[in-house]
A and B are shown apart, each in its own frame.
Chain A
Amino acid sequence: MNDDVQRLPVVTDQDVVRVRQLVRTVAVAVKLSLVDQTKLVTAASELARNTLVYGGGGEAEVSRVHNDRRAGIRIVFADQGPGIADLDLALTDGYTTGGGLGLGLSGARRLVDEFEIETEPGKGTTITVVKWCR
């Protein structure tokens, strides 16, 4: 069950900043701890930049979620880019096709509680992450 879905385009550098700010605002509203806010905003920054740089742009969707025990935040990053051919490789620390550090994807996975990738070559990539309050 979820409410308050907010969508942002991820098409420019400035949009990546806006995603960080929106995620921070919602993380504060959901009362994540300061360290967990920092982890989630950092993960969102990595994934939004990947959406922009590799996915050719896309969209981020931020929503408050809750199960019977806890509140949390879900963020979905979606693009219609080239997709990721070898997921295991892409999730390896240090693997990059763009001259980065290759830490964005693998690092973001470590920083959240739930991490799911759907990707198909030629169709695009959708990454869903969730962070729960402790």
Chain B
Amino acid sequence: MERVPVLKIGEILLVSIQIDMEDQVALQLQEDLAERIVATGVRGVIIDISALDIVDSFVGRTLATIASVSRVLDAETVVVGMRPAVAITLVELGLSLPGIRTALNVDLGIAMLARQDEDIDLLGYEDDTDQVAETTP
């Protein structure tokens, strides 16, 4: 059985799906990703589907599950590169992919994840200044 590679690039995991996945391959990817998130401690996952010429209910459901599982493991998933014809078909199929964040390409996906990590840092910084303000006479 083929396997979709999961690459660690900086602080994110990047998955670029280049094959027409049989169902077992999609399920394997779901497992591999969960394990890699835990093993690497990354906070962001990007799944590039620009090579996919269809997303059916099985792949759609797998992407949604990956997003939920990674969120439970403290990582955000962004699905990038969906083709226009795939988007039109998904909506007509009735699959709106709730809970999945999307971006047009890998760069915008990375920017989205970076913004989110920045927000978290900013919150930490604000807490610090509050404390300083309280202890200052």
Partner-B contacts on A (CB < 8 A):
13-14, 16-17, 20-21, 24, 34-35, 37-39, 41-42, 45-46, 49, 93, 100-101, 103-104, 106-108, 110-111
Would A39 and B94 count as touching, CB distance under 8 A?
no
Is B61 an interface residue when CB atoms closer than 8 A count as contact? yes
B26 to chain A, nearest CB (A): 10
CB of A38 within 8 A of CB of B94, answer no
Instruction: Decide if B88 touches A107 in the complex (CB within 8 Å).
Output: no
Interface size range on B against A: 20 to 34
Flag whether B57 is at the interface (Cβ < 8 A).
yes
The reply to whether A103 and B95 contact each other, CB–CB distance below 8 Å, is yes
Chain B interface secondary structure, helix, strand, loop or mixed? helix
Point out residues on B near A: beta carbons under 8 Å.
20-24, 53-58, 60-61, 83-86, 88-89, 92-95
Known: A13-B24, A110-B92. A35 touches B61 (CB 8 A): no
Would you give the shortest CB distance from A117 to chain B, in whole angstroms? 18
Contact B86 A38 (CB under 8 A): yes
